[in-house]
Amino acid sequence: MSQPLTILVYCLESVGRYNASFGLTTKLLKRGHRVIYLVPIHYKEKLQSHGFEVFVGPNGGKFEVEKNLGETFSKMLLETGIVGPDNTTKKLDYYQKVFFDGDDAIQKTIDVEIDFKCAMNELKPDLVIGDLFFLPPSLYFSNTPWIQYISTNPLIEIHDDELPPGTSGFPCDKSNQHEWAEFERKFKQFSYSKKYNDEIEKLGYQRFPNDQVKPQTQILSVYAFPDELNYPLVRNNDWYNIEVFVKNESADTNDILKIMPKEFIDDTLDVDIDVMKRLTGILANTNHKYIVSKGPRHEEFDLPRNMWGDRYLPQIPILKFVDLVITHGGNNSLTEIFVQAKPMIALPMFWDQYDNAQRLHETGYGIRLDPYNLTQDEMISSLDKLLNDEQLKLKLKTAANRILQSNADEIVCEKIENLMANNNYSKN
Ligand SMILES: *[C@@H]1O[C@H](CO)[C@@H](O)[C@H](O)[C@H]1NC(C)=O
Ligand SMILES: *[C@@H]1O[C@H](CO)[C@@H](O)[C@H](O)[C@H]1NC(C)=O
Ligand SMILES: *[C@@H]1O[C@H](CO)[C@@H](O)[C@H](O)[C@H]1NC(C)=O
Ligand SMILES: CC(=O)N[C@H]1CO[C@H](CO)[C@@H](O)[C@@H]1O
């Protein structure tokens, strides 16, 4: 048994990201470490009931008043064009405006920094695990080692010339490689911010080198992407792939319901009512039955006879009963569905969903379709193709069994403990 560590965990305040972290943090807790989540107040009880300690900073209560965070978020995605028919290049402008450069986004990073600083001072963690875009300066300047936790497609963090840029949804076969550099140039801009560094300076710190938002000082990056889908270059020492975020899916079912406020068990695919109506219209003309997660605007459309659905559906128990999943392919859906050995039709709407969908498609484990432009024929022939592909079912089963039997989560815990015991990490 290694020395117990005090570990502070911060995930961008998104359900998907908390959820993705539980596999690793639960393992660390079981191994005798102290794990403390820095969270806003409305997550406090849920996380405590799961056995974690929580720390709520001075800004942690700010958002409590806002009841329907899921709906507000969905509405914002639509209104800003982030979810919508525009292509992935155009969407870079929207992400920039909303997530990286907007006054709200910058203010939020400052609120987080203030909470972070309190947590660092009070808890004096040995190690920080962070799933984040903006590195808090109190972490950077503290010399505390940190681990980057990547709950998205790894392309979001890789920035490698030999791979397509994150969020582009471009194929890996380089057929359009002449377009990569220009896309990457724009995507890479998210890694720098004068505004954020102005704020860092106002708080009394030095600016980060080159006005970066997240200097790469982490001792390790942990991500999860099934090996069958993985990119050829994401295999070096400072990266560790746990392949699936939460492996014990029987525990996960209850845990999600225990941890998440019910209104968050939600699916961003449903955010666009026009897409949803068109899709259910097409599927009504097939001989299959469908379970539909209707989402925030559930009252605005009815389902045909071969469908049943509700506003919120717990994804994992339902996954066990279905033959195929039609998904936006984001967040944890991809790995969760993959370990259930279900073929997927991916209809990407924003961010890394394009990359996930593309990767499924080009590795043959699923089919990517454009939710705004798919035809009835395309949808129906894709369903037929996947549902009748016995070889694919076998391949999926083999992959799922392999992942479920792997002990990658134990190995990464050992790796973390060894890194900490040997202190052989270096700050760049
Ligand atoms: C998106 O559209 C713009 C303008 O029509 C075009 O220049 C760009 O190459 C397109 N990007 C993608 C990924 O198709
Ligand atoms: C999976 O979860 C169940 C229910 O919480 C638990 O009883 C079981 O021990 C877990 N299995 C593993 C391998 O962690
Ligand atoms: C939709 O599909 C058609 C035919 O495949 C294509 O010509 C058109 O450019 C597509 N439109 C969009 C917005 O992708
Ligand atoms: C519901 C949910 O957690 N959605 C998250 C999915 O991933 C995007 C991109 O990382 C986040 O912004 C969302 O909050």
pLDDT tens digits, 267-283: 444 567 888 888 889 99
Residue 348 and residue 356 in contact, taking contact as beta carbons nearer than 8 Å: yes
Instruction: Give pLDDT, residue 33.
Output: 96
Of all helices (H) and strands (E), which one includes residue 87? none
Q: Is 167 in the pocket of ligand 1 (CB under 6 A)?
A: no
The Cα–Cα gap between 109 and 242 comes to 28
Distance 250 CA to ligand 2 centre (A): 7
**Confidence check: pLDDT of 1 > 80:** no
* Confidence band of 67 (pLDDT split at 50, 70, 90): low
The Cα–Cα gap between 217 and 135 comes to 10
Pick from 77-86, 168-177, 315-324, 378-387: least confident = 315-324
Coil vs helix vs strand at 367: strand
Instruction: Give pLDDT, residue 244.
Output: 87
Q: Is 373 in the pocket of ligand 3 (CB under 6 A)?
A: yes
**Domains observed in the chain:** 6-243+406-421 (3.40.50.2000), 254-404 (3.40.50.2000)
Instruction: Give pLDDT, residue 236.
Output: 67
Strands 344-346 and 366-368: parallel
The amino acid occupying position 56 is: V
Ligand nearest to the CA of 85: 3
Residue entry with tokens 């909303």? 98
CA-nearest residue, atom 5 of ligand 3: 373
Distance 198 CA to ligand 4 centre (A): 27
As given in the structure block, the two tokens for residue 179 are 């377009």
Instruction: Give pLDDT, residue 43.
Output: 84
Distance 92 CA to ligand 4 centre (A): 16
Instruction: Give pLDDT, residue 352.
Output: 95
Q: Is 90 in the pocket of ligand 1 (CB under 6 A)?
A: yes
Instruction: Give pLDDT, residue 299.
Output: 77
Q: What percent of the chain has pLDDT over 90?
A: 62
The Cα–Cα gap between 325 and 366 comes to 10
Pick from 68-82, 229-243, 265-279, 338-352: least confident = 265-279
Whole-prediction pTM: 0.89
197 vs 265, higher pLDDT: 197
The Cα–Cα gap between 18 and 104 comes to 21
Instruction: Give pLDDT, residue 209.
Output: 98
Q: Model confidence over 367-407: pLDDT tens digits? A: 999 999 999 999 999 999 999 999 999 999 999 999 999 99
Q: Is 362 exposed, middle or buried (0-12, 13-18, 19+ CB in 10 A)?
A: middle
Q: Is 250 in the pocket of ligand 2 (CB under 6 A)?
A: yes
As given in the structure block, the two tokens for residue 171 are 């194929």
Q: From residue 50, give the alpha-carbon distance in Å to each of 64, 100, 119, 201, 327.
A: 21, 32, 20, 38, 28
